[in-house]
């Protein structure tokens, strides 16, 4: 485990080790290079110290920092005094700290330290460190040290290591902080774009009470009280708040206020108002010597609106912190739920002490309750101490509107952020590109857990519901559970919980007397991972260093989802059988979403072939970027996914894509989906068809050169064979349709020169074979031929006679007589022109 960096202060030496990070550095640098634009500032890497650290030496042993950080480098800063320098920040020339990387930290103390520990808010971080006191041996003294290991995981942002140690009976603190960087996305470009999209739909969801790292809290327009945000902002503003209160307690504001006192005549002093003097004189004349008289005087009082405001602000802040502490201690009691460290809870308690001390000031006992300000107060706006407290209170009150980047707060892991952003990206595509309108929004169903964090209401209960002008409806759900007890879709053995489920329902159809609404499901799983290791089964041409691929286990999971989910449906609407009689596979595709970077406008999706062939694959998905200058190119991070959904679902009628191509309406959506190769893969030895009575109309060939007995068999209903050139067939239909045809509606031959024919019979198709023409016998075709051209040879069963023939069938050229239809449609018409086509997607 190579050493990355070593710092020395008068009290300790701080060192960081990690396994080889060269691969992560390379991936990070490729990401930065791909996402960089001409106006982007070069990324900076630094260590931060609070309070400023006196660095006597700072060296980097592996050459990852270009010039090193030795004394000469420190001297160039101009802050060196007596061989040391005070540093609040220390710039690095290369990134050292990345996500999903394990680092070992060590403090070796130069003096005899009795105790040392981390006081991080996270209990798991503190428990990862062990203190070893100084030990004297025969070989010398082994200094005291604090050692620990942290795996950054999917937490990105600033990781702070607050060190507290006891030296010579005094407690000293030193915080060292560094930024944990993303390797698969741009930390200050992609992540803020995801936050912005999430905040619009799930405001405040992304914030967490305690994680390993913290980030600058971005501006939001959401109002209301959110405890975590208030707490983070109070922590940043606490010093100003307490300093302002200290000034106020030393010189509280007071003003002359009129006071009325009822005083006996004997105690009246000074010159009396004429009216009062006359009243006293008259009372004395009447013998009333004990009467009291109302006298108005002015005296200094601290019971002012400004002090009432101060008392209210301090009381509310104290009460809020006390409630935080009480609830968090209660939530943190269970051993399996101890996320918070004792140092954090004690810190919350310590924040209340200065506020309690202020409330105990004698002058506040004379101050009444706050009832608001009748007008603007210059004291609150301008007077020292009062103005500081007033401004802090306003920021605490409207923290979501104004605090910008002055506060730091933990965020949920980047894997969770990416998953929810992918979910909302699909929502955006449905609304903005596919013509859907949101009709039910359950996004507001957020609930706080015991740690004041918002949680999504997962599953179909918290889904978005959409409809479209053409009658198509859609439902987008986050992490629904499919269990053994599912009524419509079931997982028979193990419960399945895909990240994203898109369910599309078509309008009901009266086809074949059924009014069943057809539903189609696509599953998506957000994977914040990129393939880094090539397996021995991978194609040698696969270059994982220059091309982003999704990990193999993510693809395997997509196969699992599609195979595990089974749709259950009754064979009859009124069936009372507890066990559904019909099972089908509802998932038309399962795809991983991952943060791969591609120029999606010019490059093909590396998983495009698999998606088309088997309905399994992946889509690279990142926030789109718009160039801010002519030299910067716009980047679409979801174009592949958009094009796929457009091809699957289409858009509302008269809606066009950005390229101006009209999309498919809902009428042919089912056929379009069923005709895809991925949806047509049956079990071995079986066939899969969309229309069980698919019928092809076609005219018999001309009589010239053929044996007359060949046509007599069709007239008598004893024919067993019909042949058709493949070249003629593929002019009208896609080749695979030949295997699905169940009936041939053959237009009969006429001895006259009539330009049309008619259909009297339907011939069941037993089998279809593709043969060269010379292999087809005279009995099968009416004549022999030496041609090697490919023909479809249909083996026919006993025919069915139509009650009403279909007339006026054109036959020159033959393809004009060819249509795909069904028995129901054929029986309902008398003229060929009235016959309705089906399977539009099978047409060429």
Choice among 98-107, 255-264, 542-551, 778-787 with the minimum mean pLDDT: 255-264
Choice among 32-41, 164-173, 608-617, 774-783 with the minimum mean pLDDT: 32-41
Choice among 212-216, 357-361, 509-513 with the minimum mean pLDDT: 509-513
pLDDT at 60 exceeding the cut of 70 = no
pLDDT digits (tens, 9 = 90+) for 254-269: 887 776 777 777 777 7
| Joined tokens for residue 415 | 């894997």
pLDDT at 548 exceeding the cut of 50 = yes
Of the two residues 672 and 774, the one the predictor is more confident about is 774
- Assign 535 a pLDDT band (cuts: 50, 70, 90): low
CA distance 828 to 822: 10
- Assign 624 a pLDDT band (cuts: 50, 70, 90): confident
- Assign 544 a pLDDT band (cuts: 50, 70, 90): low
The 3-state DSSP class for residue 180 equals strand
- Assign 561 a pLDDT band (cuts: 50, 70, 90): very high
Q: What pLDDT, on the 0 to 100 scale, is given for residue 660?
A: 38
Of the two residues 176 and 32, the one the predictor is more confident about is 176
pLDDT at 49 exceeding the cut of 60 = yes
CA distance 251 to 308: 15
Asked if 807 and 758 count as a contact pair (C-beta separation under 8 A), the reply is yes
Name the residue among 791, 795, 668 with its Cα closest to residue 721. Answer: 795
In 457-614, where do the E strands start and end?
459-467, 473-478, 489-491, 500-505, 519-526, 565-569, 582-584, 587-594
Of the two residues 43 and 131, the one the predictor is more confident about is 131
Please count the CA atoms within 13 angstroms of the CA of 424 that sit on its side-chain side. Answer: 22
Q: What pLDDT, on the 0 to 100 scale, is given for residue 443?
A: 62
Asked if 565 and 539 count as a contact pair (C-beta separation under 8 A), the reply is no
Q: What pLDDT, on the 0 to 100 scale, is given for residue 76?
A: 46
The pTM for the full model equals 0.76
What average pLDDT does this structure show over 287-310? Answer: 81
Any idea what the Cα angle at residue 797 is, between residues 796 and 802, rounded to 5°? 100
Q: What pLDDT, on the 0 to 100 scale, is given for residue 39?
A: 44
Asked if 459 and 496 count as a contact pair (C-beta separation under 8 A), the reply is no
Q: What pLDDT, on the 0 to 100 scale, is given for residue 136?
A: 85
- Assign 814 a pLDDT band (cuts: 50, 70, 90): confident
Phi, psi (rounded to 5 degrees) for 750: -115, 140
Choice among 177-181, 484-488, 768-772 with the minimum mean pLDDT: 484-488
DSSP 644-666: HHHHHH--STT-B-TT-PBPPPG
Choice among 95-104, 411-420, 466-475, 627-636 with the minimum mean pLDDT: 627-636
What angle in degrees, to the nearest 10, is found between the helix axes of 342-359 and 305-331? 160
**CA quadruple 136, 138, 141, 146: dihedral positive or negative?**
negative
| Joined tokens for residue 672 | 């379009």
449-453, 703-707, 721-725 — which one is most confidently predicted on average?
Answer: 721-725
CA distance 195 to 365: 46
Choice among 151-155, 363-367, 550-554 with the minimum mean pLDDT: 363-367
CA distance 838 to 824: 11
What average pLDDT does this structure show over 807-830? Answer: 89
Q: What pLDDT, on the 0 to 100 scale, is given for residue 554?
A: 93
pLDDT at 788 exceeding the cut of 80 = yes
pLDDT digits (tens, 9 = 90+) for 404-443: 334 567 888 999 999 999 999 999 999 999 999 999 887 6
pLDDT digits (tens, 9 = 90+) for 299-347: 788 888 888 899 999 998 888 888 878 888 887 776 666 778 888 888 8
37-41, 681-685, 704-708 — which one is most confidently predicted on average?
Answer: 704-708
Residue 408 forms beta bridges with which residues? 216
- Assign 77 a pLDDT band (cuts: 50, 70, 90): very low
Q: What pLDDT, on the 0 to 100 scale, is given for residue 515?
A: 47
Q: Give 675's contacts (C-beta < 8 A, 6+ positions apart).
A: 690, 734, 839, 841, 842
Q: What pLDDT, on the 0 to 100 scale, is given for residue 630?
A: 44
Name the residue among 23, 61, 60 with its Cα closest to residue 45. Answer: 60
What average pLDDT does this structure show over 444-461? Answer: 70
Q: What pLDDT, on the 0 to 100 scale, is given for residue 631?
A: 42
Percent helix, strand, coil in the chain (nearest 5)?
30, 30, 40
Asked if 466 and 430 count as a contact pair (C-beta separation under 8 A), the reply is yes
What average pLDDT does this structure show over 347-353? Answer: 88
β-strands 500-505, 102-109: how paired?
unpaired
pLDDT at 702 exceeding the cut of 60 = yes
Of the two residues 102 and 33, the one the predictor is more confident about is 102
Q: What pLDDT, on the 0 to 100 scale, is given for residue 20?
A: 87
Q: What pLDDT, on the 0 to 100 scale, is given for residue 152?
A: 93
Q: Which one-letter DSSP state was computed for residue 96? A: -
Could you give the residue range(s) of every CATH 2.30.130 domain in the chain? 687-842
Q: What pLDDT, on the 0 to 100 scale, is given for residue 281?
A: 80
- Assign 524 a pLDDT band (cuts: 50, 70, 90): very high
Name the residue among 426, 470, 476, 434 with its Cα closest to residue 651. Answer: 434
Average pLDDT of the chain is 81
Give the 3-state secondary structure of 434-465. Answer: CCCEEEEECCCCCEECCCCCEECCCEEEEEEE
- Assign 27 a pLDDT band (cuts: 50, 70, 90): confident
Q: What pLDDT, on the 0 to 100 scale, is given for residue 221?
A: 43
Helix (H) or strand (E) holding 84: strand 84-92
What average pLDDT does this structure show over 163-188? Answer: 90
CATH architecture of 687-842: Roll (2.30)
Q: What pLDDT, on the 0 to 100 scale, is given for residue 367?
A: 86
Q: What pLDDT, on the 0 to 100 scale, is given for residue 661?
A: 40
CA distance 796 to 798: 7
- Assign 58 a pLDDT band (cuts: 50, 70, 90): low
556-565, 684-693, 731-740 — which one is most confidently predicted on average?
Answer: 556-565
Percent of the chain surpassing pLDDT 90: 32
Choice among 247-251, 408-412, 588-592, 790-794 with the minimum mean pLDDT: 408-412
Q: What pLDDT, on the 0 to 100 scale, is given for residue 377?
A: 85
Residue 84 forms beta bridges with which residues? 81
Choice among 143-147, 536-540, 789-793, 813-817 with the minimum mean pLDDT: 536-540
| Joined tokens for residue 265 | 């005549």
pLDDT digits (tens, 9 = 90+) for 239-249: 888 999 999 98
- Assign 59 a pLDDT band (cuts: 50, 70, 90): low
Residue 809 forms beta bridges with which residues? 757
Q: What pLDDT, on the 0 to 100 scale, is given for residue 634?
A: 59
């Amino acid at each position: 485990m190579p050493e990355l960096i070593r710092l020395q202060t008068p009290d300790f030496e701080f060192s960081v080790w990690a396994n080889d990070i060269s691969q992560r550095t390379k991936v990070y640098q490729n990401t930065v290079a791909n996402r960089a634009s001409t106006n982007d500032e070069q990324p900076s890497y630094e260590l931060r110290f609070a309070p400023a650290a006196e660095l006597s030496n700072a060296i980097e042993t592996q050459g990852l920092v270009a010039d090193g950080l030795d004394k000469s480098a420190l001297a160039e800063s101009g802050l060196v005094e007596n061989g040391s320098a005070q540093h609040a920040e220390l710039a690095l020339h290369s990134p050292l700290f990345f996500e999903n990387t394990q680092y070992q930290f060590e403090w070796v103390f130069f003096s005899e330290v009795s105790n040392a520990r981390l006081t991080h808010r996270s209990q798991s971080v503190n428990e990862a460190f062990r203190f070893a006191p100084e030990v004297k041996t025969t070989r010398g003294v082994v200094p005291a040290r604090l050692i620990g290991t942290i795996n950054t995981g999917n937490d990105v942002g600033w990781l702070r290591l607050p060190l507290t140690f006891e030296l010579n009976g005094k407690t000293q603190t030193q915080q060292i902080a560094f930024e944990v960087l993303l390797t698969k996305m741009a930390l200050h470009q992609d992540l803020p774009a995801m936050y912005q999209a999430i905040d619009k739909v799930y405001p405040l969801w992304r914030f967490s009470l305690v994680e390993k790292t913290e980030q600058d809290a971005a501006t939001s327009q959401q109002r209301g009280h959110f405890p975590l945000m208030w707490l983070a902002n109070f922590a940043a503003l606490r010093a100003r708040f307490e300093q302002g209160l200290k000034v106020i307690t030393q010189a509280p504001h007071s003003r002359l206020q009129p006071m009325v006192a009822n005083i006996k005549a004997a105690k009246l002093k000074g010159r009396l108002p004429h009216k009062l003097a006359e009243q006293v004189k008259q009372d004395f004349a009447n013998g009333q010597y004990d009467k009291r008289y109302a006298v108005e005087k002015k005296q200094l009082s601290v019971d002012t609106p400004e002090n009432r405001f101060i008392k209210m602000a301090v009381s509310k802040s104290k009460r809020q912190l006390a409630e935080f502490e009480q609830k968090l201690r209660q939530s943190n009691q269970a051993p399996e739920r101890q996320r918070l460290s004792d140092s954090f809870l004690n810190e919350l308690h310590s924040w209340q002490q200065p506020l309690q001390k202020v409330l105990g000031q004698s002058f506040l006992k004379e101050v009444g309750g706050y009832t608001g300000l009748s007008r603007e107060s210059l004291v609150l706006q301008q007077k020292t101490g009062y103005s500081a407290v007033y401004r802090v209170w306003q920021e605490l009150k409207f923290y979501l509107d104004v605090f910008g980047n002055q506060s730091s707060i933990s965020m949920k892991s980047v894997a969770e952020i990416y998953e929810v952003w992918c979910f909302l990206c699909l929502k955006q595509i449905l609304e903005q590109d596919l013509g859907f309108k949101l009709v039910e929004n359950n996004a507001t169903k957020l609930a706080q857990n015991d740690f004041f964090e918002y949680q999504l209401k997962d599953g179909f209960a918290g889904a978005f519901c959409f409809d479209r002008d053409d009658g198509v409806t859609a439902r987008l759900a986050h992490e629904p559970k499919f269990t053994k007890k599912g009524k419509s879709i079931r997982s028979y053995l193990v419960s399945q919980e895909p990240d994203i489920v898109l369910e599309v329902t078509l309008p009901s159809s009266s086809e074949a007397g059924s009014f069943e609404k057809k539903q189609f499901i696509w599953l998506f799983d957000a994977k914040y991972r990129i393939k880094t290791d090539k397996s021995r089964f991978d194609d040698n041409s696969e270059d994982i260093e220059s091309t982003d691929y999704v990990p193999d286990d993510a693809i395997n999971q997509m196969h699992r989802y599609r195979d595990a989910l089974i749709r259950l449906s009754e064979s009859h609407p009124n069936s009372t059988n507890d066990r559904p009689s019909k099972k089908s596979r509802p998932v038309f595709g399962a795809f991983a979403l991952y943060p791969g970077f591609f120029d999606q406008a010019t490059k093909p999706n590396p998983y495009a072939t698999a998606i088309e062939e088997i309905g399994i694959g992946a889509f690279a998905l990142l926030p789109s970027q718009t160039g801010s200058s002519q030299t910067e190119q716009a980047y679409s991070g979801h174009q592949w996914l958009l094009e796929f959904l457009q091809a699957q679902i289409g858009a509302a009628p008269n809606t066009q894509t950005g390229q101006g191509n009209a999309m498919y309406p809902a009428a042919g959506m089912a056929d379009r989906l069923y005709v895809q190769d991925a949806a047509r893969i049956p079990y071995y030895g079986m066939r899969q068809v969309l229309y069980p009575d698919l019928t092809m109309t076609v005219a018999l060939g001309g009589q010239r050169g053929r044996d007359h007995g060949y046509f007599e068999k069709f007239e008598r209903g004893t024919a067993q064979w019909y042949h058709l050139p493949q070249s003629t067939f593929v002019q009208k239909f896609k080749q695979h349709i030949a295997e699905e045809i169940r009936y041939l509606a053959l237009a009969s031959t006429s001895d006259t020169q009539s330009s049309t024919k008619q259909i009297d019979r339907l011939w069941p198709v037993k089998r279809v074979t593709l043969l060269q023409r010379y292999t087809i016998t005279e009995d099968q075709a009416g004549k022999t031929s030496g041609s090697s051209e490919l023909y479809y040879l249909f083996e026919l069963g006993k025919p069915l006679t139509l009650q009403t023939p279909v007339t006026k069938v054109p036959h020159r050229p033959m393809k004009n007589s060819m249509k795909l239809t069904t028995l129901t449609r054929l029986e309902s018409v008398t003229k060929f022109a009235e016959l309705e086509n089906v399977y539009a997607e099978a047409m060429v």
